[in-house]
Structure 1
Amino acid sequence: MFKKILIANRGEIAVRVIRACKEMGVQTVAVYSTADAEALHVKLADEAYCIGGPRPQDSYLNGDAILTVAAASGATAIHPGYGFLSENAAFARQCRECGVVFVGPAPEVIERMGDKDAARRTARAAGVPVVPGCDLLESAEAAEAEAARIGCSVLIKARSGGGGRGIRKVERLADVGRAFTEARAEAEAAFGDGACYMEKFVAPAHHVEVQVLADAHGNVVTLGERECSVQRRNQKLLEESPAPCLDGRDDVRERMYEAARSLARAVGYEGAGTIEYLYTDNGQFYFMEMNTRLQVEHPVTEFVTDIDLVKWQLRIAAGVAFPYTQDELAPAKRAHAIECRINAEGPGPDYLPSCGTVENLHVPGGPWVRFDSALYPGALVPPYYDSMLGKLIVRAGTREEAVRKMRSALTELEVDGVQENSDLQLDILANPEFLSGIYHTNLMEHLYES
């Protein structure tokens, strides 16, 4: 196992990795921007180094500065968390060239699966169903021709990046050219890559993802699924496991798992990764993309499998074999987990981000209640980064019990000094469509309909 690891991230995920390392007896090195000088991950790490200004490109996206700190501190591995450099193949390759272990898959795998167009072709070759669509589009005219062939509605999607950027839904053929131009420009600005492709818009649909764990010894397992259909502007708000839309559909669930394992084997995957699907009520599922990193919502899986994904990321990166077979990984009996993302934002309709200083904080407790966060009284919530303050996760014996437990936890949570979205999450948990378990990715459009 590594003696010292650098965490190339900030906020709750940096704290999460530091805590896992402490439990494993591994020393930790934090990096931070000038805006994060008093951040919790800086306080908890064994060592901490400022690497630049508050803008991400000056600090958390500065691979050279991060590797300089790794060399100076003696860290032999880098955990990238999620976001920032976590799916940056060039940085993973740079780590390898510097003799530092990148905690994640090989750069060639990141490139292959991070390019969503190439990932679609790889999935097809591995026998995984994909959404009908087309390969990369060269021009607005080509986009219009493909949309006419596929039939509206369609999605124009950037091949790089994530977080809902570079995506446009188009319902009329007349709007395709403009939407393509907008998606390409947004993707170029966000990811430095404006290439886009097109898919048929599948609706109504569920967003279901399967957690994969693979080691360097040929072991590839799936660790259940998560339903992530509660989304706003292509950003997830609430996740749960097991997926209620698959109740009574164990045949579909097993096909999803097998397809995920097949794809991971096909690309020689190592580490924790997620295969994301669209699932329709008639039992069809389609590959969307693979996230070659730890997911924000990984605690949901940890709560229903009792597998610590961060610790296993580190062990696998150190060459340790995963000791369990697929048959030994049955989900915990009578377990259902829900995660609510607590974001710093004002109330609708615009949900503008909120920033400031946390004046008071009360975190809910009790059996199987977890709050992953970097907050503390006096913590600064700066305007430069993602608005997520933390993740509230609960586990109970049934979905109904988990919903009640989450409601209780949300009403107990107090964050004074910045606005946050607990009330929105409570509205979701009270919505009849959500409670039915048969909700789709358009749930948020229906939430306040009377």
Structure 2
Amino acid sequence: MFRSILIANRGEIAVRIIRTARRLGLRTIAVYSDADAEAPHVRLADVAVPIGPAPAAQSYLSADRILAAARSTGAECIHPGYGFLSENAGFAEACAAAGIVFVGPPPSAIRAMGLKDGAKALMEQNKVPVVPGYHGERQDPDFLKQKAYEIGYPVLIKAVAGGGGKGMRRVDRAIEFDEALAAARREAQSSFGDPRVLVERYVRDPRHIEFQVFADTHGNTIHLNERDCSIQRRHQKVLEEAPASGMTAEVRAAMGAAAVASAKAVGYVGAGTVEFIVDGAKGLRPDGFWFMEMNTRLQVEHPVTEAITGFDLVEWQLRVAAGEPLPSQAAPIDGHAVEVRLYAEDPDAGFLPSSGRLDVLRLPEGEGIRVDSGVEEGGTVAPFYDPMIAKIIAHGADRKQALDRLSAALARTVVAGPKSNLAFLRSVVGHADVRTGGVDTGFVERAGTAIAGGRVGDGVVAAVVVRLVAATRAPPPVPRADGWSDPWATLDGFALGPSREVGYRFSVDGGAPQTARLRWGHGTVEAFVGRASSAGVAEEAFVRAGDAAYALDAGRAAAVRLVDELARTADDLEGSGVVRAPMHGRLLAVRVAPGDTVARGVPLFTVEAMKMEHTVVAPRDGTVAEVRAAVGAQVAQGAAIVVLADVEGGKPG
């Protein structure tokens, strides 16, 4: 076994690797960017080395800086986690050249599985079933369109070098093909630097089932059963579970054999995941699955496999990398496990990533509950990286108990500061179709608003306003030495006459001011926002953090502040003319200049964060009075970017 390890990653996976490495007695070495100087993984490691500025390209993606950190600290091996450099064959080769062990597969295996077309051709040669389609080299549009006709609509156009749904388009009719192909190619070029695509049959009601595989240098290759990752949003996994709902021993044996054959075909070593697409419309069958791709690394969802097998997969990775044989050839299944990914993102704004200070973070504990996280209360979700807050995993004797435990754990979770998908996850886990099992990858889109985030209820907001008003009122007077105090100095709402109402202005999440009506009676106070009352709202619906007060409602959190009408800013006076950044990120493009006249809906600027672009359009007709940020600048969520003035003489031309 090694004596020291450098973790070339950050966040929850870095923390998770450090935990296992320290248990095995390894000296742990963390690397960190300027944005992560106070991050938990830095504090938990035995040694931490700064590697550059916040942007990943200048820090976590810099192989030279990471290798320099490894050499300077005497690291014997490098674990890349997932993402960043984990599937970079060049980095694996650079590690070997530096005499440092790369904890991962051989570079040849990474390359063989790195491009979808080549990987599928290799699988066909090794009798692994693949989705019917065209996976060849020819890329002229007319030829690809002819192949789509031969395959039969609907078809999927997929980027050869793709992943995460980027460069992917479903095409239902021939008339849509040309436009979809052009869009897929543009996105593939932008995301991966490679515009090539493949075309294959679209599997209706598809389920996404993957197998965890492991191989060592002694000729052993096994699988550790399956995970069902069918609950996805735009091809991004939301909920993962093991084993798959409805899986039979016969189907598991067939899919497991195909997964092992896939790994052997590329001379695999270490942990990998073979992903299959399954025809969910006809149920799980030995002849109803097809190879999709192989991820040549540890997966985000590996904890559900650990839960049902009892194995520590990071320990297995380290032992295999050190030349030891696989610790076991068995693949037990003990109960059921489910995992969800808690993200800083706003479901009500198209799941745009959110960022900022975690004013409140309460993660659950309890029987059968595991939480993997790389942030903590008071820390920051940085805008430069994946916005994951935590993975919450529940293990139970059966699927129902696992889901029940997960549901209860999510109910105990609180996130306030950045927006989060907590309410969305609670809705997903509690949905009747999810409870029944066997949902396909279109579940989230079909469910729509039934599982959306939604806003905090007016009654909860009203209750928070009551507490904020109470906090601003003068405390009871201090009694004199003889015990007497002036009753007229006590601001408790006491009145000899009937109850009275007073209006208080407040805002929710920095939005437009609203009015709450507070009604004082004899020793009571009740607030109304719209028709909703504060009566009966529990104390748990309110939490203070610094200068913010948060209303909490079924996983939703909204910052509520009283409005000081005497503290209005110039931006407030400009009203709807101020157009703000919807998320923290890099200002990728500004499409207008001062003096331009614009109509409502015209693009103004584009912000990029976490590899996602969002174009902001004009909320109304106007003239561009100011542009307050330059292209390339990092802008905060809510920062004023463009100011619109009214158009003189009417509508813009």
User: Shorter-normalised TM-score: what interval?
Assistant: over 0.9
Matches within 5 A, 1:2-401: 2-135=2-135, 136-246=137-247, 249-281=248-280, 282=282, 283=285, 284-325=288-329, 328-332=330-334, 335-348=335-348, 350-401=350-401
CA contact (8 A) 1:428 1:447 kept: no
TM-score by length of 1: 0.96
Give me the whole-angstrom Cα distance separating, in 2, the residues matched to 1:15 and 1:285: 35
Residue 137 of structure 1 and its aligned partner are, at CA, apart by 4.4
Give me the whole-angstrom Cα distance separating, in 2, the residues matched to 1:433 and 1:15: 34
CA contact (8 A) 2:308 2:333 kept: yes
TM-score by length of 2: 0.67
* Partner SS state of residue 51, structure 2: strand
Give me the whole-angstrom Cα distance separating, in 1, the residues matched to 2:75 and 2:140: 46
Give me the whole-angstrom Cα distance separating, in 1, the residues matched to 2:8 and 2:425: 30
Q: Could you report, residue by residue, the CA deviation over 1:297-324 in whole angstroms, capped at 9, with x for unpaired residues?
A: 0000000000110111111011111132
Matches within 5 A, 1:428-439: 428-439=428-439
Q: Which has the higher Rg, Structure 1 or Structure 2?
A: 2
Residue 172 of structure 1 and its aligned partner are, at CA, apart by 2.0
Give me the whole-angstrom Cα distance separating, in 2, the residues matched to 1:23 and 1:131: 43
Q: Cα 1:161–1:22, aligned 2, differ >3 Å: closer, same or farther? A: farther
CA contact (8 A) 1:140 1:178 kept: no
Give the counterpart letter for 1:250 in structure 2: A
Give me the whole-angstrom Cα distance separating, in 2, the residues matched to 1:385 and 1:310: 23
Q: Cα 1:432–1:349, aligned 2, differ >3 Å: closer, same or farther? A: farther
RMSD between superposed Cα atoms in Å: 1.4
Q: Could you report, residue by residue, the CA deviation over 1:354-407 in whole angstroms, capped at 9, with x for unpaired residues?
A: 101111221211122011001212211011111221100010011111111000
Give me the whole-angstrom Cα distance separating, in 1, the residues matched to 2:51 and 2:175: 48
CA contact (8 A) 2:242 2:337 kept: yes
Give me the whole-angstrom Cα distance separating, in 1, the residues matched to 2:34 and 2:26: 26
Judge which range, 401-410 or 32-41, deviates more. 32-41
CA contact (8 A) 1:143 1:176 kept: no
CA contact (8 A) 2:21 2:315 kept: yes
Give me the whole-angstrom Cα distance separating, in 1, the residues matched to 2:53 and 2:354: 20
Q: Cα 1:449–1:416, aligned 2, differ >3 Å: closer, same or farther? A: closer
Q: Could you report, residue by residue, the CA deviation over 1:279-334 in whole angstroms, capped at 9, with x for unpaired residues?
A: 11432000000000000000000000001101111110111111322xx32212xx
Give me the whole-angstrom Cα distance separating, in 2, the residues matched to 1:157 and 1:197: 5
* Partner SS state of residue 447, structure 1: helix
Give the counterpart letter for 1:309 in structure 2: L
CA contact (8 A) 1:187 1:194 kept: yes
Residue 94 of structure 1 and its aligned partner are, at CA, apart by 1.3
Give the counterpart letter for 1:262 in structure 2: A
Give me the whole-angstrom Cα distance separating, in 1, the residues matched to 2:289 and 2:40: 41
* Partner SS state of residue 146, structure 1: helix
CA contact (8 A) 1:134 1:146 kept: yes
Give me the whole-angstrom Cα distance separating, in 1, the residues matched to 2:140 and 2:51: 40
Residue 187 of structure 1 and its aligned partner are, at CA, apart by 2.0
Give me the whole-angstrom Cα distance separating, in 1, the residues matched to 2:93 and 2:143: 34
Residue 278 of structure 1 and its aligned partner are, at CA, apart by 0.8
CA contact (8 A) 2:346 2:353 kept: yes
Q: Could you report, residue by residue, the CA deviation over 1:78-107 in whole angstroms, capped at 9, with x for unpaired residues?
A: 111111111111111111121111111000
* Partner SS state of residue 182, structure 1: helix
Give me the whole-angstrom Cα distance separating, in 2, the residues matched to 1:381 and 1:20: 24
Give me the whole-angstrom Cα distance separating, in 2, the residues matched to 1:67 and 1:109: 22
Q: Give unpaired runs (5+ residues) of structure 1.
A: none
Residue 337 of structure 1 and its aligned partner are, at CA, apart by 0.2
CA contact (8 A) 2:188 2:194 kept: yes
CA contact (8 A) 1:137 1:197 kept: no
Give the counterpart letter for 1:211 in structure 2: Q
Residue 449 of structure 1 and its aligned partner are, at CA, apart by 6.5
Give the counterpart letter for 1:291 in structure 2: N
CA contact (8 A) 2:210 2:275 kept: yes
Residue 189 of structure 1 and its aligned partner are, at CA, apart by 2.0
Give me the whole-angstrom Cα distance separating, in 1, the residues matched to 2:69 and 2:238: 34
Give the counterpart letter for 1:358 in structure 2: L
Give me the whole-angstrom Cα distance separating, in 2, the residues matched to 1:313 and 1:415: 33
Give me the whole-angstrom Cα distance separating, in 2, the residues matched to 1:323 and 1:288: 28
* Partner SS state of residue 183, structure 1: helix
Q: Could you report, residue by residue, the CA deviation over 1:206-261 in whole angstroms, capped at 9, with x for unpaired residues?
A: 10000001111011111110000000011000001110032xx2211110001111
CA contact (8 A) 1:337 1:394 kept: yes
Give me the whole-angstrom Cα distance separating, in 2, the residues matched to 1:125 and 1:205: 24
Give the counterpart letter for 1:169 in structure 2: R
CA contact (8 A) 2:117 2:160 kept: yes
Q: Cα 1:161–1:50, aligned 2, differ >3 Å: closer, same or farther? A: farther
Give me the whole-angstrom Cα distance separating, in 1, the residues matched to 2:63 and 2:140: 33
* Partner SS state of residue 346, structure 2: coil
Give the counterpart letter for 2:364 in structure 1: P
CA contact (8 A) 2:316 2:327 kept: no
* Partner SS state of residue 244, structure 1: coil
CA contact (8 A) 1:51 1:65 kept: yes
Q: Give unpaired runs (5+ residues) of structure 2.
A: 451-653
CA contact (8 A) 2:77 2:101 kept: yes
Which one has a larger percent strand, Structure 1 or Structure 2?
2
Give me the whole-angstrom Cα distance separating, in 2, the residues matched to 1:263 and 1:448: 36
Aligned positions, number: 444
CA contact (8 A) 1:216 1:270 kept: yes
CA contact (8 A) 1:338 1:393 kept: yes
Residue 425 of structure 1 is matched in structure 2 by: 425
Give me the whole-angstrom Cα distance separating, in 1, the residues matched to 2:60 and 2:191: 15
Give me the whole-angstrom Cα distance separating, in 2, the residues matched to 1:114 and 1:61: 18
Q: Cα 1:449–1:420, aligned 2, differ >3 Å: closer, same or farther? A: closer
Residue 188 of structure 1 and its aligned partner are, at CA, apart by 2.1
CA contact (8 A) 1:137 1:195 kept: no
Give me the whole-angstrom Cα distance separating, in 2, the residues matched to 1:174 and 1:424: 36
Residue 412 of structure 1 and its aligned partner are, at CA, apart by 0.5
